[in-house]
Chain A
Amino acid sequence: MSYVGIVLISHSPKIVEGLKELIREVIQDVPIELAGGTEENEIGTSMEKIMKAVNDADKGKGVILFYDIGSAKMNAEMAIEMLETEAILVEAPLVEGSYVAAVESGMGKSLMEIVNAMEKNF
Protein backbone atom coordinates (compact mmCIF):
# COMPACT_ATOMS: atom_id res chain seq x y z
CA MET A 1 0.00 0.00 0.00
CA SER A 2 1.27 3.46 -0.83
CA TYR A 3 0.67 6.58 1.21
CA VAL A 4 0.45 10.33 0.64
CA GLY A 5 3.94 11.68 1.27
CA ILE A 6 4.80 14.43 3.70
CA VAL A 7 7.47 17.11 3.30
CA LEU A 8 8.57 19.12 6.31
CA ILE A 9 10.18 22.47 5.50
CA SER A 10 11.93 24.63 8.05
CA HIS A 11 14.62 27.28 8.21
CA SER A 12 16.41 25.01 10.65
CA PRO A 13 17.45 21.42 9.82
CA LYS A 14 17.15 20.56 13.50
CA ILE A 15 13.50 21.58 13.70
CA VAL A 16 12.42 19.14 11.01
CA GLU A 17 14.73 16.38 12.23
CA GLY A 18 13.12 16.63 15.67
CA LEU A 19 9.67 16.75 14.18
CA LYS A 20 10.25 13.67 12.07
CA GLU A 21 11.46 11.86 15.17
CA LEU A 22 8.28 12.86 16.98
CA ILE A 23 6.03 11.61 14.17
CA ARG A 24 7.99 8.36 13.75
CA GLU A 25 7.10 7.48 17.35
CA VAL A 26 3.61 6.71 16.10
CA ILE A 27 3.69 6.47 12.32
CA GLN A 28 6.35 4.38 10.62
CA ASP A 29 5.13 3.67 7.07
CA VAL A 30 4.23 7.09 5.72
CA PRO A 31 7.01 8.68 3.65
CA ILE A 32 8.39 11.76 5.41
CA GLU A 33 11.08 13.83 3.72
CA LEU A 34 12.90 16.82 5.14
CA ALA A 35 13.88 20.14 3.62
CA GLY A 36 15.52 21.96 6.53
CA GLY A 37 18.00 24.79 6.08
CA THR A 38 19.95 25.95 3.05
CA GLU A 39 22.13 23.82 0.75
CA GLU A 40 24.93 24.37 3.27
CA ASN A 41 22.62 23.43 6.17
CA GLU A 42 22.63 26.98 7.41
CA ILE A 43 19.50 28.78 8.58
CA GLY A 44 17.24 29.41 5.59
CA THR A 45 15.42 27.35 3.00
CA SER A 46 16.30 25.97 -0.39
CA MET A 47 14.01 25.48 -3.35
CA GLU A 48 16.20 22.65 -4.64
CA LYS A 49 16.08 20.83 -1.31
CA ILE A 50 12.31 21.14 -1.30
CA MET A 51 12.08 19.82 -4.88
CA LYS A 52 14.18 16.81 -3.98
CA ALA A 53 12.15 16.15 -0.83
CA VAL A 54 8.89 16.28 -2.80
CA ASN A 55 10.25 13.85 -5.40
CA ASP A 56 11.44 11.46 -2.73
CA ALA A 57 8.18 11.65 -0.76
CA ASP A 58 6.01 11.00 -3.81
CA LYS A 59 4.90 7.38 -3.97
CA GLY A 60 2.11 7.99 -6.46
CA LYS A 61 -0.51 9.43 -4.15
CA GLY A 62 0.77 12.98 -4.01
CA VAL A 63 2.59 15.00 -1.40
CA ILE A 64 1.50 17.44 1.30
CA LEU A 65 3.96 20.14 2.38
CA PHE A 66 4.26 21.98 5.69
CA TYR A 67 6.48 25.02 6.33
CA ASP A 68 7.51 27.26 9.18
CA ILE A 69 7.92 30.95 8.23
CA GLY A 70 8.75 33.53 5.58
CA SER A 71 10.87 32.43 2.66
CA ALA A 72 9.98 28.79 3.27
CA LYS A 73 6.57 29.46 1.79
CA MET A 74 7.88 31.20 -1.33
CA ASN A 75 10.51 28.55 -1.95
CA ALA A 76 7.91 25.82 -1.50
CA GLU A 77 5.55 27.50 -3.96
CA MET A 78 8.31 27.78 -6.54
CA ALA A 79 9.34 24.17 -6.03
CA ILE A 80 5.76 23.03 -6.63
CA GLU A 81 5.49 25.18 -9.77
CA MET A 82 8.62 23.56 -11.16
CA LEU A 83 7.55 19.97 -10.51
CA GLU A 84 4.96 17.76 -12.18
CA THR A 85 4.13 15.98 -8.92
CA GLU A 86 0.73 16.48 -7.33
CA ALA A 87 1.85 18.50 -4.33
CA ILE A 88 -0.03 20.86 -2.04
CA LEU A 89 1.36 23.37 0.44
CA VAL A 90 -0.96 23.81 3.41
CA GLU A 91 -1.45 26.61 5.90
CA ALA A 92 -1.35 24.63 9.11
CA PRO A 93 1.00 24.73 12.09
CA LEU A 94 4.13 22.79 11.17
CA VAL A 95 4.18 20.51 14.20
CA GLU A 96 0.51 19.78 14.86
CA GLY A 97 -0.41 19.88 11.18
CA SER A 98 2.17 17.40 9.97
CA TYR A 99 1.51 15.12 12.94
CA VAL A 100 -2.20 14.93 12.13
CA ALA A 101 -1.47 14.58 8.40
CA ALA A 102 0.84 11.64 9.07
CA VAL A 103 -1.89 9.90 11.06
CA GLU A 104 -4.42 10.55 8.29
CA SER A 105 -2.04 9.39 5.58
CA GLY A 106 -1.31 6.26 7.60
CA MET A 107 -5.04 5.48 7.50
CA GLY A 108 -4.84 5.48 3.71
CA LYS A 109 -6.54 8.83 3.13
CA SER A 110 -6.13 10.62 -0.20
CA LEU A 111 -4.23 13.88 -0.63
CA MET A 112 -7.44 15.89 -0.92
CA GLU A 113 -8.93 14.25 2.16
CA ILE A 114 -5.86 15.18 4.17
CA VAL A 115 -5.80 18.74 2.83
CA ASN A 116 -9.49 19.10 3.76
CA ALA A 117 -8.78 17.76 7.23
CA MET A 118 -6.05 20.38 7.63
CA GLU A 119 -8.41 23.15 6.60
CA LYS A 120 -11.04 21.89 9.04
CA ASN A 121 -8.65 21.42 11.95
CA PHE A 122 -6.50 24.54 11.69
Chain B
Amino acid sequence: MELRVEDAIQWFTKVNEKIQENKDYLTSLDQVIGDSDHGINMARGFQEVENKLSTQEYQEVADVLKEVAMTLISKVGGASGPLFGTAFLKFSQAVKGINPVDYTSFTSGIEEALQGVMHRGKATTGEKTMIDVWAPVVHSFQEAHDFEDNPFLKVAKQAMEDTKDIMATKGRAAYFKGKSIGYIDPGAASTYLIFEALEEVIKGSK
Protein backbone atom coordinates (compact mmCIF):
# COMPACT_ATOMS: atom_id res chain seq x y z
CA MET B 1 0.00 0.00 0.00
CA GLU B 2 0.88 3.66 -0.20
CA LEU B 3 -0.27 6.30 2.24
CA ARG B 4 -2.69 8.75 0.61
CA VAL B 5 -4.10 12.00 2.03
CA GLU B 6 -7.28 10.21 3.15
CA ASP B 7 -5.22 7.50 4.87
CA ALA B 8 -3.20 10.12 6.73
CA ILE B 9 -6.39 11.86 7.85
CA GLN B 10 -7.85 8.53 8.93
CA TRP B 11 -4.63 7.76 10.82
CA PHE B 12 -4.91 10.84 12.98
CA THR B 13 -8.67 10.53 13.36
CA LYS B 14 -7.99 7.11 14.87
CA VAL B 15 -5.15 8.47 16.99
CA ASN B 16 -7.57 11.02 18.39
CA GLU B 17 -10.16 8.33 19.20
CA LYS B 18 -7.54 6.26 20.99
CA ILE B 19 -6.14 9.20 22.92
CA GLN B 20 -9.66 10.23 24.03
CA GLU B 21 -10.46 6.63 25.08
CA ASN B 22 -7.18 6.36 26.99
CA LYS B 23 -7.12 9.86 28.41
CA ASP B 24 -7.54 8.70 32.02
CA TYR B 25 -5.13 5.81 31.56
CA LEU B 26 -2.40 8.11 30.18
CA THR B 27 -2.97 10.55 32.99
CA SER B 28 -2.79 7.74 35.55
CA LEU B 29 0.63 6.72 34.18
CA ASP B 30 1.74 10.32 34.46
CA GLN B 31 0.42 10.55 38.02
CA VAL B 32 3.04 8.11 39.20
CA ILE B 33 6.12 9.64 37.60
CA GLY B 34 5.11 13.05 36.32
CA ASP B 35 2.67 15.88 36.74
CA SER B 36 -0.58 14.06 35.89
CA ASP B 37 -1.37 16.04 32.79
CA HIS B 38 -0.27 13.79 29.92
CA GLY B 39 -3.72 12.42 29.08
CA ILE B 40 -5.39 15.79 29.42
CA ASN B 41 -2.78 17.55 27.28
CA MET B 42 -2.77 14.90 24.56
CA ALA B 43 -6.57 14.76 24.50
CA ARG B 44 -6.77 18.53 24.09
CA GLY B 45 -4.13 18.54 21.35
CA PHE B 46 -5.51 15.67 19.30
CA GLN B 47 -9.09 16.88 19.62
CA GLU B 48 -7.90 20.11 18.03
CA VAL B 49 -6.07 18.09 15.34
CA GLU B 50 -9.33 16.25 14.59
CA ASN B 51 -11.24 19.53 14.40
CA LYS B 52 -8.76 20.85 11.83
CA LEU B 53 -8.48 17.66 9.76
CA SER B 54 -12.23 17.21 9.48
CA THR B 55 -12.83 20.69 8.12
CA GLN B 56 -9.80 21.54 5.93
CA GLU B 57 -8.69 20.33 2.50
CA TYR B 58 -5.19 18.96 1.95
CA GLN B 59 -3.17 18.57 -1.24
CA GLU B 60 -0.69 16.01 -0.01
CA VAL B 61 0.23 13.84 2.98
CA ALA B 62 2.95 16.29 4.01
CA ASP B 63 0.29 18.99 4.47
CA VAL B 64 -1.70 16.74 6.81
CA LEU B 65 1.41 15.96 8.85
CA LYS B 66 2.32 19.64 9.04
CA GLU B 67 -1.15 20.53 10.26
CA VAL B 68 -0.89 17.83 12.94
CA ALA B 69 2.54 19.12 13.98
CA MET B 70 1.64 22.79 14.24
CA THR B 71 -1.59 22.02 16.10
CA LEU B 72 0.17 19.83 18.66
CA ILE B 73 2.91 22.43 19.15
CA SER B 74 0.41 25.17 19.88
CA LYS B 75 -2.29 23.22 21.74
CA VAL B 76 -0.75 20.48 23.88
CA GLY B 77 0.90 22.67 26.51
CA GLY B 78 3.14 20.04 28.14
CA ALA B 79 6.42 18.61 26.88
CA SER B 80 4.57 16.28 24.52
CA GLY B 81 3.53 19.20 22.32
CA PRO B 82 7.00 20.20 21.15
CA LEU B 83 8.12 16.56 21.01
CA PHE B 84 5.28 15.06 18.96
CA GLY B 85 5.03 18.35 17.09
CA THR B 86 8.68 18.22 16.06
CA ALA B 87 8.32 14.54 15.12
CA PHE B 88 5.48 15.19 12.68
CA LEU B 89 7.02 18.41 11.39
CA LYS B 90 10.24 16.55 10.45
CA PHE B 91 8.12 13.72 9.01
CA SER B 92 6.24 16.26 6.93
CA GLN B 93 9.43 17.85 5.61
CA ALA B 94 10.84 14.43 4.68
CA VAL B 95 7.84 13.47 2.53
CA LYS B 96 7.10 16.88 1.05
CA GLY B 97 6.21 16.59 -2.64
CA ILE B 98 5.79 12.81 -2.41
CA ASN B 99 2.15 11.87 -2.79
CA PRO B 100 1.01 9.23 -2.08
CA VAL B 101 3.79 8.28 0.32
CA ASP B 102 5.39 4.96 -0.59
CA TYR B 103 6.98 2.60 1.95
CA THR B 104 10.55 3.84 1.47
CA SER B 105 9.56 7.48 1.82
CA PHE B 106 7.45 6.66 4.87
CA THR B 107 10.48 4.98 6.40
CA SER B 108 12.60 8.09 5.75
CA GLY B 109 9.81 10.10 7.30
CA ILE B 110 9.77 8.24 10.59
CA GLU B 111 13.57 8.19 10.66
CA GLU B 112 13.48 11.98 10.48
CA ALA B 113 10.71 12.09 13.08
CA LEU B 114 12.84 10.08 15.49
CA GLN B 115 15.87 12.30 14.87
CA GLY B 116 13.69 15.32 15.50
CA VAL B 117 12.43 13.99 18.84
CA MET B 118 15.96 13.08 19.92
CA HIS B 119 17.27 16.51 18.97
CA ARG B 120 14.38 18.42 20.55
CA GLY B 121 14.44 16.46 23.78
CA LYS B 122 18.24 16.04 23.78
CA ALA B 123 17.55 12.43 24.62
CA THR B 124 18.47 8.99 23.42
CA THR B 125 17.26 5.42 23.93
CA GLY B 126 17.23 3.82 27.38
CA GLU B 127 16.07 6.93 29.23
CA LYS B 128 12.42 5.87 29.65
CA THR B 129 10.91 8.20 27.09
CA MET B 130 8.84 7.99 23.89
CA ILE B 131 12.16 7.45 22.07
CA ASP B 132 12.21 3.93 23.49
CA VAL B 133 9.18 3.18 21.31
CA TRP B 134 10.01 5.37 18.29
CA ALA B 135 13.51 3.91 17.86
CA PRO B 136 12.59 0.19 17.63
CA VAL B 137 9.64 1.04 15.36
CA VAL B 138 11.97 2.92 13.03
CA HIS B 139 14.28 -0.07 13.08
CA SER B 140 11.39 -2.35 12.20
CA PHE B 141 10.56 -0.16 9.20
CA GLN B 142 14.17 -0.24 8.05
CA GLU B 143 14.26 -4.04 8.28
CA ALA B 144 10.94 -4.75 6.55
CA HIS B 145 10.07 -4.05 2.90
CA ASP B 146 6.43 -3.10 2.97
CA PHE B 147 3.70 -2.00 5.36
CA GLU B 148 1.87 -5.33 5.38
CA ASP B 149 4.81 -7.54 6.38
CA ASN B 150 6.13 -5.19 9.01
CA PRO B 151 5.68 -6.35 12.62
CA PHE B 152 6.05 -2.77 13.88
CA LEU B 153 2.99 -2.94 16.15
CA LYS B 154 4.30 -5.97 18.01
CA VAL B 155 7.66 -4.24 18.27
CA ALA B 156 6.01 -1.07 19.58
CA LYS B 157 3.98 -2.96 22.18
CA GLN B 158 6.99 -4.83 23.51
CA ALA B 159 9.05 -1.63 23.53
CA MET B 160 6.34 0.22 25.43
CA GLU B 161 6.15 -2.56 28.04
CA ASP B 162 9.93 -2.62 28.34
CA THR B 163 9.92 1.02 29.48
CA LYS B 164 8.61 -0.36 32.81
CA ASP B 165 12.05 -1.69 33.65
CA ILE B 166 13.94 1.48 32.80
CA MET B 167 14.81 4.11 35.37
CA ALA B 168 13.92 7.56 34.05
CA THR B 169 16.86 9.86 33.44
CA LYS B 170 15.11 12.41 31.19
CA GLY B 171 12.15 14.67 31.61
CA ARG B 172 10.31 15.33 34.83
CA ALA B 173 10.11 11.60 35.59
CA ALA B 174 13.87 11.73 36.23
CA TYR B 175 13.14 13.58 39.47
CA PHE B 176 11.57 10.34 40.73
CA LYS B 177 14.74 8.31 40.06
CA GLY B 178 14.32 4.66 41.19
CA LYS B 179 10.65 5.18 41.93
CA SER B 180 10.05 5.42 38.18
CA ILE B 181 10.87 1.72 37.75
CA GLY B 182 7.84 -0.53 37.34
CA TYR B 183 5.71 1.93 35.40
CA ILE B 184 5.20 2.39 31.68
CA ASP B 185 6.36 5.77 30.44
CA PRO B 186 3.32 7.89 29.47
CA GLY B 187 4.99 9.22 26.30
CA ALA B 188 5.86 5.65 25.29
CA ALA B 189 2.22 4.67 25.84
CA SER B 190 0.86 7.46 23.65
CA THR B 191 3.46 6.71 20.97
CA TYR B 192 2.20 3.12 20.99
CA LEU B 193 -1.35 4.38 20.39
CA ILE B 194 -0.13 6.36 17.37
CA PHE B 195 1.31 3.20 15.83
CA GLU B 196 -1.72 1.13 16.80
CA ALA B 197 -3.81 3.59 14.81
CA LEU B 198 -1.41 3.33 11.87
CA GLU B 199 -1.72 -0.47 11.90
CA GLU B 200 -5.52 -0.18 11.72
CA VAL B 201 -5.27 2.14 8.73
CA ILE B 202 -2.94 -0.29 6.97
CA LYS B 203 -5.23 -3.27 7.76
CA GLY B 204 -8.28 -1.34 6.66
CA SER B 205 -6.78 -0.53 3.28
CA LYS B 206 -6.13 -4.15 2.34
Report which A residues bind B (CB closer than 8 A): 38-39, 42-48, 69-71, 74-75, 77-78
Q: Which 10 interchain pairs have the tightest Cβ spacing?
A: A44-B77, A74-B82, A71-B79, A38-B77, A70-B79, A71-B78, A75-B82, A47-B73, A70-B172, A74-B120
> Chain A residue with minimal CB distance to B85?
A78
- Chain B at the A interface: SS class: helix
Partner of B83, one of A39, A45, A48, A74: A74
Cβ B171 vs Cβ A48 within 8 A: no
Cβ B77 vs Cβ A47 within 8 A: no
Interface size on B, residues (CB 8 A): 19
B74 at the interface (CB under 8 A from A): yes
Interchain Cβ contacts under 8 Å between A and B, 30 examples: A38-B77, A39-B75, A43-B37, A44-B37, A44-B41, A44-B76, A44-B77, A44-B78, A45-B77, A46-B74, A47-B74, A47-B81, A47-B82, A69-B172, A70-B78, A70-B79, A71-B77, A71-B80, A71-B81, A71-B82, A74-B79, A74-B82, A74-B83, A74-B86, A74-B120, A74-B121, A75-B82, A78-B82, A78-B86, A78-B120
Q: In B14-71, which residues have CB < 8 Å from any A CB?
A: 37, 41
CB distance from A67 to the nearest CB of B (A): 12
CB distance from A79 to the nearest CB of B (A): 10
